[in-house]
A and B are shown apart, each in its own frame.
Chain A
């Protein structure tokens, strides 16, 4: 498999005055070229923190305590993201090699300048293009995405949320990065706009043949968009594998509970939620972090943390039961 990025033993969290919040704890992962990789899990599981760390966007109180992140470029170089300075990241990595679409991205556009000037700024900053030249380039660029032409002359507030979201996605892909990290890119949108934004992102990924990491708590979205996915719970990666395999044959009890609690049209069978709450990550439990909520806990689960290991081909789980 052609490797694009490798993260080894990543441990990062929030250094607060009174405590340390262990948001991402000993997570390792590999991203392949030309794939859509999903990261799922519920609020506070560490999925957003993880992709911030992968992007190298580490600002206090977020700190990286341990871990190695390597990006393998197309020309055969290895870049160690986890040890680069913010200046170096900004100049050589961000936008060119790795793009990051933060949550609520549709609100990141500058309300005082027109959309075309957002493009012009990117062209000037990174390629050194003149304004007039960048306008005509931007025009051609958004046409390839099938976005209407009059979008360029508009101010952000004149566009609908769904359109703004697609503009932000288009800007993030402008320099054809190898890796796009998208954090809940559709959670603020309605179903129809959500579908438009996500298929837009997926088509762009197919055209560029790059790698898309999609953070979404919604298992149905993971199911229609991603090739492989990882599930996180309380800062740990608990299951990784091919998306279809995970949805059809989940192994971790938490993944099982999540997939079983999904309501579907045409199916009125009783759904059950989980009991209890995720643990407080200022003081995470010893042993398995899911233990207090697990429907079938064993004595060992309380004492010792299960390692994540390959149970079937390309299907990794961290659970003592498996």
Chain B
């Protein structure tokens, strides 16, 4: 029995690219991390095309990696036996970016909620009703307002709360939320994030929060891993990573956050946006070297492994 709740060991996923797909394009490149059993929120942060959604699909068992393994409570999620699969789907739930995409717009919500209760938990109609009422009330909705209606009768924020309720039905141990608030208006966003915090603190549910938004990541997460071109370039406690900013890429990300207080600096300082995606993904040296302001000869030749800098791990030769 592993001591970790979830552990990814050297996970890589290649997609074919170029003529007949002969170039192997590493969407996820040798990623390792773990989550301890103690309930907490871990953020995987990065910009579009950094591989965070591909990694999420691998962690959920939807996609098999070409290399490496993912262990959930010590069991490989890609080699589960039939019974274990059902157990895994109860324990690990997902919430996605587009709440309308989660539900078929023509099907009433009853089907989803009762279906989940019946298929995953084997509940009778009555047991299911009680549990559905419980989870809906947790997300601040009344059963009578939800059942019998179709998803398109609700606003985005409401549908996202219903998808949180659906994820809570089987009393999961881990919820993976992929950009869960990016399509919700700012005035309602915090309600969903506060809900995640409360679930972690009071119900002991761990979260993997996948986002490009560092401000919300800082607000809710205990730990954070910053991804760039398929790799983790910096990881550690959220405060230390986001306020300490060791990797030059983390620095670039944080300094680009618009903050009204630093208007002059934000407008005047030179920015260097990432360049050719494909080239950087395929690079055998440090993938950030092309645009890094602090690069040395070594960065152009060799790829840095994650190095310990206090509580933080950083993949950068500066910290050798």
Contact = CB atoms under 8 A, between A and B. Distances in A.
A185 to B, nearest CB: 13
B277 interface: yes
Given A191-B212, A192-B271, A192-B274, A224 B189 contact: no
Given A220-B259, A247-B260, A196 B271 contact: yes
B157 interface: yes
A196 B258 CA distance: 11
A143 interface: no
Contacts of B271: 192, 195-196, 199
B63 interface: no
Interface string A258-284: 100111111010111110011000000
A302 to B, nearest CB: 21
Contact of A263 (B192, B216, B256, B263): B216
B258 A195 contact: yes
Interface in B156-205: 156-158, 185-194
A263 B188 CA distance: 12
Contact of B187 (A199, A258, A266): A258
Interface string B250-276: 001110111111110011000111111
Given A271-B190, A271-B219, A274-B187, A191 B253 contact: yes
B3 interface: no
Contacts of A272: 190-191, 194
Contacts of A219: 186, 260
A43 interface: yes
B142 interface: no
B2 interface: no
Contacts of A278: 155
Nearest to B49: A190
A218 B191 CA distance: 17
A263 B190 contact: yes
Given A191-B212, A196-B273, A224-B267, A265 B190 contact: no
A192 B253 contact: yes
**Interface magnitude class on chain B:** 35 or more
B218 A271 contact: no
B258 A223 contact: yes
Q: Which of A162, A191, A223, A257 gathers the greatest number of chain B CB atoms within 10 Å? A: A191
A130 to B, nearest CB: 34
B258 A257 contact: no
A112 interface: no
A274 B218 contact: no
Q: Which of B185, B187, B261 gathers the greatest number of chain A CB atoms within 10 Å? A: B187
Contact of A190 (B155, B212, B254): B212
B309 interface: no
A215 B241 CA distance: 32
Given A262-B215, A265-B242, A217 B258 contact: no
B243 interface: yes
B218 A263 contact: yes
A183 B216 CA distance: 24
B137 interface: no
Q: Which of A199, A224, A257, A271 gathers the greatest number of chain B CB atoms within 10 Å? A: A224
Given A190-B212, A196-B273, A270-B194, A277 B256 contact: no
Nearest to B263: A224
Contacts of B267: 199, 202, 224-225
Contact of B47 (A190, A217, A218, A277): A190
B258 A218 contact: yes
B190 A43 contact: no
Contacts of B252: 192
Q: Which of A190, A199, A268 gathers the greatest number of chain B CB atoms within 10 Å? A: A190
Q: Which of B243, B260, B267 gathers the greatest number of chain A CB atoms within 10 Å? A: B260
Nearest to B158: A277
B146 interface: no
B132 to A, nearest CB: 22
B48 interface: yes
A263 B266 contact: no
9 contacts: A160-B274, A191-B212, A192-B272, A199-B266, A217-B186, A220-B260, A224-B267, A258-B187, A264-B218
List the 6 shortest-distance A-B pairs measured between CB atoms, nearest first: A223-B260, A190-B47, A273-B191, A42-B185, A273-B190, A263-B219
